[in-house]
Amino acid sequence: MAVEGMQPLAMARRLADKHGCNVVVTYGAYGMVAAEREGGTWYMPAEPTTVRDVCGAGDTVMAALSTSMLAGNCFHQACRLATTAGGRQVERLGSAAVQSL
């Protein structure tokens, strides 16, 4: 997976450096790449799951990421929780609330 000749980790890192912020790029069944404002960059694979419907998965990932960080988790842990939440969302038909992580 490359965007205009750039690998996903390099793309996330470049965006984080340019804008001085944390960056998350989701890749559906492949998981996500993330770059911290402070310099850490990583790939986080998606957990294997039975996909029934992808409706709402991206919104679920962003909501879980934001909520987790507001609760005081570090960016890396928030990404881990968000990946899990997105995986649980796609196991359901249509949009549904993720009950617990």
**Looking at the domain assignment, is residue 2 inside a domain?**
no
The full length of the chain comes to 101
**Looking at the domain assignment, is residue 75 inside a domain?**
yes
Domain count, the chain: 1
pLDDT category at 11 given cuts 50, 70, 90 is very high
Indicate if 17 belongs to the active site: no
Condensed to tens digits (0 to 9), the pLDDT of residues 27-83 reads 888 889 999 998 899 999 988 888 888 888 889 999 999 999 999 999 999 999 999
- The count of C-alpha atoms lying within 13 angstroms of the C-alpha of 70, restricted to the half-sphere facing its C-beta, is 6
- The tokens describing 22, both together, are 């944390």
**Looking at the domain assignment, is residue 1 inside a domain?**
no
- Catalytic: which of 6, 21, 59, 77? 59
pTM of the model: 0.82
- The tokens describing 62, both together, are 């962003």
**Looking at the domain assignment, is residue 19 inside a domain?**
yes
C-beta separation of 95 from 56 below 8 A: yes
Partners of residue 44 on adjacent β-strands = 32
Range of the domain at 82: 8-90
> Measured at the alpha carbon of residue 94, what is the angle toward residues 91 and 95, in degrees to the nearest 5?
90
